[in-house]
Amino acid sequence: MIEIHFDEASEAEKLVGLLDHRQPDDGPLFHAAYDGNKTVAVYIQGEEKRVLEEHIIPAMTAFMQEVMEDRLLLSIIANVFYFRDVEEQQQILALAHSFLDGERSDYRKSAAFAASRTVMLRDAFASFLRDGLSFSFSSFVTFRLKPYMERLQHYVELAIDEYKLEQEYQNFVQMLRDCLAGRTPQWPRLYLVHDPPHFVFYDSERRELSAAEVRQLIDRHLVFSQPMYIDASVLAPLVSLAPAEIELYTDHPDDGMVQTLQNVFQERLIVCRRADFSRLFAANAGNGGEA
């Protein structure tokens, strides 16, 4: 018998459910039960090594990843990095999952990340579990899963970095929105054509502006009075002009600057396909330059 003591009865119940789910179709090789409180007892009826390798260890590994992993991540977020706000914790947890899911390939290239979390857990259980063992699950995590916990903490650190960058970005976007709200539109409409990585400006008459002309549109007081850097090639002239409407022509709607323009200008910005501008320009030329 293997006896496992948990801190919470719900954890014991979920492990028993996962163990029962892994019983072989040709008859039970083990029996898992819990006392209605916090202890799980696993009675091995078949050959010990086979039962452990094929059934119990996979169930324990699944239990760690499906039940315990988020709890451990939240504990790290709250108790190691001191994020106490529940909403912040959930945002950081969601970002951590973007690194955890699939053990992203860029991290697998590192020797420190050669083994996936699944392999780490399987190996830890394989070197520890045996018939006749009685142990505390929380102690097992503390003393036997140090490399696994270090891996989780690393991903939480990455998630927190991403979270802070996102917060800074949102503050930046709100700052630009506030700037726009206090400015009178200088032009009724502006055309912006995206030729990556550049953005080409056209005035209300669809006349292309040179880089020098675009720079002259910038309100220097607006730029220097802001606490954050404002891109001088696109954002600064656009916010300075605060046009009532912007038509943006692009084939790359997921581009970072395109996304920022949408976030800042919101309903003022209309996103069109790049080819639509060529047709618009041709139609305008055919009409003798009339808008």
Pairing label, strands 190-195, 2-5: unpaired
Is the separation of the CB atoms in 217 and 240 below 8 Å? yes
268 secondary structure, DSSP code: G
- How is the chain split into domains, by residue range? 1-175, 182-283
Residue type, 32: A
pTM (2 decimals)? 0.80
Cβ contacts of 253 within 8 Å, gap of 6 or more: 259, 271
Instruction: Encode the chain (291 residues) as per-residue pLDDT tens digits.
Output: 999 999 999 999 999 999 999 888 777 889 999 888 899 999 999 899 999 999 999 999 999 999 999 999 999 999 999 999 999 999 999 999 998 885 654 454 454 555 789 999 999 999 999 999 999 999 999 999 999 999 999 999 999 999 999 999 999 999 999 999 989 999 999 999 999 999 999 999 899 999 999 999 999 888 788 778 888 899 999 999 999 999 999 999 999 999 999 999 999 999 999 999 987 766 665 555 554
Half-sphere exposure of 106 (CA within 13 A, CB side): 2
